[in-house]
Amino acid sequence: MRKRGYHHGNLRQALVDAALRLIEEKGPTGFTLSEAAKQAGVTPAAVYRHFAGREDLIAEAARQGYEIFSDVMEYAYNDGQPTALSAFEATGRAYLAFARKYPGHYISMFESGVSVNHSPELAKVASRARGILERAAEDLSEHIPPEKRPPSTMVSAHIWALSHGVVELFARNSPGTQSPFPPEDLLESGIGIYLRGLGLLPKDS
């Protein structure tokens, strides 16, 4: 294969892009660094100028995924205004949209086994994503007296888990898990039931 001319960090990104394609095709443990190098059009030795190993390469794919994910969630949160509920529900729908549009990043982030604490950079951007959902949860509980509010970290963690479950079971075309309802409807109704159970929704909502 003819080697391409990469300059100013382009090779590093080319390797990440190659890894993302392989992750989609074979899973996070189903490819080697040599395969990533081949897809990027470089020698295997070139990979080690940028990454210590496959885990480092996947961690960078995850970091970039969290950057995109955070931007998508932030946009959804702001676009979902003016009500706290619509903003909160928008972040849930954004979770589904991200998983569909960026499967390689999604797998790197949540299914590769790479810890968010793999690097300070990865931990920071993952924290930013959680912070957006926590902020949305805080907005929802403003009408409740402080002493009766559930912790926003707990609410956001539950909604994150609910969103993740809907994605895994019904939004990624997993065999044998077809739902009679669209994933977006399942998520929205689940969020509504959960929030009403906590008393976070006004009575007229």
**Domain-wise residue ranges, the chain:** 1-51, 58-198
Burial of 6 (0-12, 13-18, 19+ CB in 10 A): middle
pLDDT for the residue numbered 176: 55
Q: Which two tokens stand for residue 121?
A: 């950079």
Report d(CA 139, CA 49) in Å as an integer.
46
- The pair phi, psi for residue 12, each rounded to 5°, is -55, -45
pLDDT, residue 203, reads 57
Mean pLDDT for each 10-residue chunk of the chain (205 residues)?
50 93 93 91 87 93 96 88 83 90 94 92 93 88 85 91 88 66 88 87 60
What whole-number distance in Å separates Cα of residue 202 and Cα of residue 205? 6
**With a threshold of 0.75, does the pTM exceed it?**
yes
DSSP string covering 162-174, please? HHHHHIIIIIS--
Q: Which amino acid is at 27?
A: G
What integer pLDDT is reported at residue 30 of this predicted model? 92
Give the orientation angle of helix 120-140 with respect to helix 152-166, to 10 degrees.
110
From the list 115, 116, 73, the residue with the least C-alpha distance to 98 is 73
Q: Return the structure tokens found at 34.
A: 């040599």
Domain 1-51: homologous superfamily in CATH: Homeodomain-like (1.10.10.60)
pLDDT at 149: 87
- What confidence score (pLDDT) does residue 8 get? 42
Distance of CA 69 to the CA centre of its chain: 5
What integer pLDDT is reported at residue 5 of this predicted model?
46
In the prediction, which pLDDT does 80 show?
Answer: 75
Amino acid at 154: M
At residue 27, φ and ψ (nearest 5 deg) are: 90, 165
* CATH assignment of 58-198, among 1.10.357.10, 3.40.50.800, 3.40.50.1100, 3.30.70.520: 1.10.357.10
